[in-house]
Structure 1
Amino acid sequence: MFSREFFFAEGGEGIRLSAGDYYDESKGYGFLGLAAQERAADRFTGTGGWNPRETYCPGEGEEAGLWQDGADGVEVKAGFPLRFRAAVPGNGSYAVTVTIRGGREGAQGLMLYTGRRNLIKRDIVIRPGEVFSCRFYVRVCEYIPVVGEGAKEDNSVYVTVLGAGKSSARISGLKIEDAQAPTVFIAGDSLVADYDGLYPYNPIINGGSWGQNLPQYFDGVAFSNQAHGGLTTNCFRDDGHWDIVCKNIRPGDIFLMEFGHNDQKRRYLKAFDQYAANLRRYVRQIREKGAYPMIVTSLSRIPGKNEDGYFDLLEDYALSCLRVGRELHVPVIDLHAGSFRTLCDMGPEITPDYFMDTTHTNDYGALLTAGFIAEEIVRLQAEPLCGMRNDFAGKPWKPDVSLRPADTVSSAQKEERPILPTDLPKLPYADCKGIPQEGILKKAMVKGLLDPCILFFHPFDEIPRGQFLYLFFKAVPMPAKRGYQGRFCDIYRYEFDAQNVQTALDAGLVDETTTPEDRFRPDDGLTCGELAEFMVRSLQPEGKRGLDMQTCEQEAKRLGLLWDGYERNAAVNRADCTAALVRMMEIREKES
């Protein structure tokens, strides 16, 4: 049986360590330093989910000044993570016991994390002379930290203590041992995935998710967050994340999933069609393994507002989840309804303080969301997780707006962006290696046209007209947006693509001859000629964009925007479409 015990204070038992004992592969344990370093594409392996901010540049000897050895344990200055890493034999469940002595002055505002910044306890208060002790479970399991590089094994247990207030972080003792415990496997997208913490820590500009904050509310269970940014109900399966779950899930475990934000950007994953079918398939396969499925509806974006009041574009996907849950007798946490109602009640002045952009939460929003989910699990009596709820009743943090850097744009004005960097050394797409467009697709990634979070690009598939506009408006200066005004009978006012359709209309980019019978044809594949029209019209001054297709083709040819295999009425594939948009962007850059 594996068991290791460490002590960092006077009079403890086990392996004695001090502040200068950094992690050593040969020993398999030690603290992780706080030196400035480049933030790698893999933000988690070897970091415990913490990395330095780009602005963090300690002077010579300054890092050492952050650490302190004391009679009650090793300490690190408030705002910096005290991280310890210990190697373990392999995949499996481990019981971890952390002790922190209060010492002469006590401590308050401490945070305890494990794994990839998964929150175990927060707002810890230790009175002078008292000892805080916490036993929890960790599931060591493969994870895909970088798209395209496959699953990675990191057979380590990470423990982090953070002084989020004025108190320094402190650890006095640590014990890790083999144990058996059920696991909650979490699946989803960037609203659920693990985010690294950046130090010095600032919660209002640090991204976070409910997935990594949920563990604080439950005892006797481990968590394995397999969610990843950019994923749909298809991508989670196709990109290898589902394989990890299948390999590791056991009877009695729990599978908690939230999808929708990215599904709605794919015309072929409509709410009551393939999206619902995918949910049913996950539910059935999880039950076949003897585990318990649970569904969470999508977190609301910052609500929009029109003459009819507040709205969000995910209502159909939430309703689809509720229908599948009712049909298959699966507990459904209606996060969409709860978050939408809460954000509307907050109003437009307060809501942005809980977000990084219009979609992604900061740590304040992540804590608020995780608390709602924990409450709903109890309200719904969703077993077996309901029976594991602990007695923690801490309130979500109220945003401290004084922490927001000066001249920061409101998150309500920031468009949704991928959570991973786009300047990757190579394309992550497994199906683009060696194709003729590979080089220019790499440029498209750097320019922010493509999603760095998925494994397959499907370069030779058609691109639906509705979905094309989402890509197109990343490549051209975005005109002023307004809500959809109802021009076409095949566009629903509150679907994801509706606002982009209205924007294209307002900008004079839509050729009325391509929209017969008042239909935009959002599901039809974009043709080569239609792409040429959109590009050439966008390059003209406003008021002079009413060019017909033949004129646009001639101008596109002159500008070098056409490609080998161009045929006016043939559907353009995703690779050729993206490559043409890159060339259009380069023309704009030269003109400016």
Structure 2
Amino acid sequence: MYSLHYLFGKDVQNPASAITVSSLDLYSPDKGYGFVIEKNRRSQELLQIPELNSAFEPWYWLNSEDISILNQSEDGIFITKSDLYHMEDWPIPLHFKVKLSTSGNYTVSLNLKNVGNTASPIWIFTGRRRLMFYTQTFPVSSELHQTFTINISDIIPRSKTSVYTDNTLDIVIISQANIALCQLDITSSPTLPTLYIAGDSTVTDQSTSYPYHPGCSYCGWGQMLPFFFKPGICISNHAHSGLTSETFRSEGHYDIIYKLLRLGDFVLIQFAHNDQKLPHLAAYKGYTEKLTNYIHELRLKGAIPILVTPLARNTWLGDGSYNDLLIDYANACIQISLKEHVPLIDLHQFSKSFIKTHGLENSKPYFFPNDYTHTNDYGGLQMASYIASELKHISSLENFISCTIDNEIRSLLQVTQMIKLPSPPSHYIDRNQSNHTVAFTDIEDCKDKDIIISLASKGIISDRETLFRPNDLIIRIEVLEWIIKAIGFVPMNVYNDYYSDVIGHEWYAGTVEVAHQNGIVDAFLTQKALFHPSMPVTTEELISFLINSYKCRKPLHTTFTHTGIELDNVSSFAFNAILSAFEIGLITFPFDPHEKLTRSQAACYIQKLITLLQ
């Protein structure tokens, strides 16, 4: 049986079978073990691929900085960080990496000790940032022994097209306290069963930045699921951002799982978020066909498929009602489950109820800041807890799952504080903004040049052409495309033929679909089933688009105190939108509601909206 033993204390007695590690031991493939900090991460290309490592990376403005300081005590090795300008309360990872003889299933045991003078919460992750352990308080001088069973497997990393061999184990300890890694034992466990996961970005092992905050970390529920499992089964997550039920196979991810499957292994499957953007993967057509094929093939290998309905988004309409964009796909999953007699976990219903109970604003702390699709670590843990509780009802899995939520985890799952992303230092922002160039050759003398460049740098305005045409009138479809990108509405390549003057093959049909789904355009402006995509946009029309979009992301608490404001010229459909825009500072009076706006003027309004939503 293959095994490795590491000791980390200073002057520790070294059994013949153990490897003693010092704070100077940085990982390299030749050495085969060591710590990963900024210094060796910058010098080794493979350490910069999140999926082949711990998936912890410095914040982008800290890439050239040395943050981590390794320290060695008599008990073990712990990490401290250099002085940072405003993130002193956010911890950094102690990351130890080991090269193993092969991929597969392993049993990992580690000993930790708090060698500092403060108690603190502690997180333990393995592999691609999979949560294995959390406790709210790790007292001073206390010791901790934990054992996990983990899977290491080959993977096709993000933006890569070929399979990368991965036979390395990553251990990460996160804490504000000085938590020393004292001992690590690794033993191959090839006979353990494996639970594989197939899915998209809402399921995948997301990377994060450090110094670490769970609220500022993208998270798929698949990477939180190991926390709820006892040793004895291993989880192998092959979900990836951007995948559909079709591309999971065509891009090679399914083949990795299929070759490894053994009798009695499990496969959790959740798709839909990207399928819904493609006409041929409609819920009751291509999507159903692809999922059904997976079920049949997995059963031929003796594996047990389990369907998961798609995670709901925190999407709302301007009238305050919940906007369910995935209900057809959830219902299709349920139909497949009934027809094929496959276990089903209705995550869509659970997450939708969770979001509707909390409401738009109180759901935001469970999602990555300014994102309405992807959970953060708090939300990922919340969804994984539900998945685990449902898996416990599957008889062959019940003995592996420990989904009892104690007070510590309950407090972690109840997040009330709004979370903001940290900002880079001002000199970094200035340096990078000044370096951004656009192809436009006609904005040099435009007074709104900086706003246009800023929107182009964010991808809101396309700069693939050389002319921006700042003084041309903007048309309805152009400004809606900008708004959809600025707000972050879910893009669509599907169009359901709502309007007689928009046909499915037009480049902007998906934009019309998104505008319709989210109630951006007032019904008054689309009478007789006409969308008027090429019509110039007036001020009051744009304001109504912007306010309708704003309300999908943030509640409006306007009092409509408009004493002295001249509104006689405002059309009835735009009246309340104009008042709301005035009260939140989107417009000032006087203004001409019927003025046809230029592209430059529209860009300024878009920038104001972005600022108001931050």
**TM-score normalised to structure 2 length:** 0.67
Distance 1:54-1:40 versus aligned 2 partners, 3 A rule: farther
1:174 corresponding residue in structure 2 = 184
| Matching residue of 1:401 | 417
Is the aligned partner of 1:112 residue 2:124?
yes
In structure 2, how many angstroms separate the alpha carbons of the residues matched to 1:160 and 1:24? 17
CA RMSD of aligned residues (A): 4.1
Give the Cα separation in 1 of the matches to 2:523 and 2:43: 41
- Equivalent residues in 2 for 1:42-121 (5 A)? 43-44=49-50, 47-56=53-62, 63=67, 66-77=69-80, 79-102=91-114, 107-121=119-133
Residues 76-101 of structure 1 show CA distances to partners (whole Å, capped at 9, x for unaligned) of: 13711011111111222121111113
Q: Distance in 2 between matches of 1:327 and 1:34?
A: 52
Q: Which runs of 5+ in 2 are unaligned?
A: 81-89, 425-435, 437-455, 463-476, 490-494, 504-509, 542-597, 604-614
1:37 touches 1:52 (CA, 8 Å); kept in 2? Answer: no
- 1:17-416 to structure 2, matched below 5 A, reads 17-35=21-39, 43-44=49-50, 47-56=53-62, 63=67, 66-77=69-80, 79-102=91-114, 107-123=119-135, 125-127=137-139, 130-163=142-175, 166-180=176-190, 181-219=192-230, 220-305=232-317, 309-356=321-368, 357-378=371-392, 381-390=393-402, 393=405, 394-395=409-410, 396-399=412-415, 401=417, 404-405=420-421
Q: Is the contact between residue 73 and residue 172 of structure 1 (CA under 8 Å) also seen in structure 2? A: yes
Q: In 2, distance between residues paired with 1:497 and 1:385?
A: 45
Task: For 1:308 and 1:126, locate their aligned partners in 2 and report how far apart those are by CA, in whole Å.
Answer: 43
Deviations 1:47-84 (A, max 9, x none): 3111000233786xx646x3221122111137110111
CA distance in 1, matches of 2:353, 2:342: 23
Contact 1:303 1:344 in 2 (8 A): no
Q: Structure 2 CA distance, aligned partners of 1:38 and 1:298?
A: 40
Q: Structure 2: how far apart are the matches of 1:391 and 1:542?
A: 56
DSSP 3-state at the match of 2:224: helix
Aligned to 1:500: 515
Change (3 A) 1:445 1:90: farther
SS of 1:252 mapped into structure 2: coil
- CA drift of 1:262 comes to 0.9
Contact 2:481 2:511 survives alignment (8 Å) = no
User: Aligned in 2, Cα 1:88/1:266: closer, same or farther, shift over 3 Å?
Assistant: same
Counterparts of 2:111 and 2:486, CA distance in 1: 55
Contact 2:389–2:403 at 8 Å: present in 1 too? no
Q: Which amino acid aligns with 2:150?
A: V
Q: For residue 265 of structure 1, report the CA deviation from its aligned partner.
A: 1.1
Matched AA of 1:311: N
CA offsets per residue over residues 83-127 of structure 1, 9 Å max, x none? Answer: 111111122212111111345868541111111001111126545
Alpha-carbon distance between aligned partners in 2 of 1:21 and 1:45, rounded to the nearest angstrom:
22
Change beyond 3 A, Cα 1:246–1:475: same
Secondary structure of residue in 1 paired with 2:322:
strand
Contact 1:203 1:363 in 2 (8 A): yes
SS in 1 for 2:204: coil
Structure 1 position 18, deviation (Å): 1.9
* Displacement of 1:5: 0.4
Q: Deviations over 1:225-259 (max 9, x none)?
A: 11111111111111111111111121111100111
Q: What letter matches 2:6 in structure 1?
A: F
**Does the C-alpha gap of structure 1 residues 46 and 22 become closer, same or farther in structure 2, counting only changes over 3 Å?**
farther
Alpha carbons 2:115, 2:180 under 8 Å: kept: no
Partner of 2:3: 3
Alignment gaps of 5+ in structure 1: 409-422, 424-443, 451-470, 513-517, 521-532, 546-586
- For 2:304 and 2:378, locate their aligned partners in 1 and report how far apart those are by CA, in whole Å: 29
Q: Helix, strand or coil for the counterpart of 2:187?
A: strand
1:361-406 Cα deviation digits (max 9, x unpaired)? 111111111111112222xx12322221026523243336375258
Q: Distance in 1 between matches of 2:266 and 2:132?
A: 18
Please state whether the residue corresponding to 1:309 is helix, strand or coil.
coil
- Give runs of aligned pairs for residues 505-544 of structure 1, distance below 5 A: 537=534, 540-542=536-538
Q: CA separation in 2, counterparts of 1:73 and 1:94?
A: 23
**Change beyond 3 A, Cα 1:174–1:496:** farther
Q: Report the AA paired with residue 53 of structure 1.
A: W
| C-alpha distance in 2 between matches for 1:299 and 1:40 | 34
Q: 1:287-311 CA deviation, whole Å, 9 max, x = no partner?
A: 1111111111111100314658323
Secondary structure of the equivalent of 2:357? Answer: helix
**What SS does the aligned partner of 1:376 have?**
helix
Q: Which residue in 2 is equivalent to 1:426?
A: none
Length, aligned pairs only: 466
- Mapped partners of 1:195, 1:132: distance in 2: 27
User: Does the C-alpha gap of structure 1 residues 251 and 262 become closer, same or farther in structure 2, counting only changes over 3 Å?
Assistant: same
Identity, in percent, stands at 29
Decide whether the 8 Å contact of 2:130 with 2:226 is kept in 1: yes
Q: Report SS of the residue matched to 2:50.
A: coil
Q: Aligned partners of 1:154 and 1:360: how far apart in 2? A: 26
Distance 1:242 1:27, change over 3 A: same
Q: How far did residue 149 of structure 1 move?
A: 2.8
Q: 1:83 to 1:474 in 2, by over 3 A?
A: farther
Give deviations 1:507-544, integer Å, cap 9, x for gaps. Answer: 999898xxxxx699xxxxxxxxxxxx95xx27x4549x
SS of the residue corresponding to residue 311 of structure 1 reads coil
- Mapped to 2, the partners of 1:28 and 1:479 lie a distance apart of 45
Per the TM alignment, residue 131 of structure 1 is displaced from its structure 2 partner at its CA by 3.2
